[in-house]
Amino acid sequence: MIRKRRNQIGYVSQDTLIFDDTISNNISMWGGDMSKDLKLRTRIENAAKKANILDFINSLPDGFNTKVGDRGVLLSGGQKQRIFIARELFRQPKILILDEATSSLDSESEKSIQESIESLKGEITVVIIAHRLSTIKNVDKIYLLENGKIVESGKYSELKNNINSKFSKLVNLQIL
């Protein structure tokens, strides 16, 4: 029972784990040969699309067969992160946890990941843990934690516009 529940949770941290192999194998974790298995190909492509990395992969001369180098050295930070997200989405979790998944990315890469998160609305539950407040602007509900306890909760605009809110003070510090 515990294993079944664990398999329903996807986890993406700020530290990506990319293998010295093809993009396809990095997404499917060596799930097979996508050129021979149409169902596998569809799952890999859908995961890449949801992670907002499909267009980039299709622009490569070898597409999904592109080797990415040791620890993904041939990819940017944002590309690695989106492939890592695609790997978790390939597993088809019911809950996806993004733990500081955009903290070390440039604004353009963060925007691509935010678009990916937006596309998942209504399909799976996404839990975002973030210090960078721009990452959580479009979430359904925010929980502000302090010393392990929820001190505020609400929608972004509600918390931001409440001048007595701790969240509002954080937004003003980050000039959002």
Band the pLDDT of 47: cuts 50, 70, 90.
Answer: very high
Amino acid at 175: I
**3-state SS assignment for residue 113:** helix
Give the pLDDT score at 175: 67
Higher pLDDT, 137 or 89: 89
CB 47 within 8 A of CB 124: no
Which of 62-71, 96-105, 153-162, 163-172 comes out lowest in average pLDDT? Answer: 96-105
**Averaging pLDDT over each range in 107-116, 132-141, 142-151, which range is the top one?**
142-151
The percent of residues in the chain predicted with pLDDT above 70, rounded, is 99
Nearest residue to 166 via CA among 129, 99, 150:
150
Residue 135 has pLDDT above 90, yes or no: no
Answer left, alpha or beta for residue 93, where phi above 0 means left and psi between -120 and 50 means alpha: beta
Confidence of residue 161 (pLDDT cuts 50, 70, 90): very high
Residue with more model confidence, 24 or 108: 24
Report the alpha-carbon distance of residue 35 to residue 146 in Å, rounded.
49
How far is Cα 36 from Cα 57, in angstroms, rounded to an integer? Answer: 19
Question: Who's near 36: CB < 8 A, 6+ residues apart?
Answer: none
Which tens digit of pLDDT belongs to each residue from 94-119? 999 999 887 777 788 788 888 888 88
Could you please report the per-residue DSSP string of 33-98? -TTT-HHHHHHHHHHHHHTT-HHHHHHSTTGGG-B--GGGTTS-HHHHHHHHHHHHHHT--SEEEE
Whether the pLDDT of residue 74 is over 70: the answer is yes
52 compared with 133, residue with greater pLDDT: 52
**Residue type for position 117:** I
Q: What is the mean pLDDT of residues 44-50?
A: 96
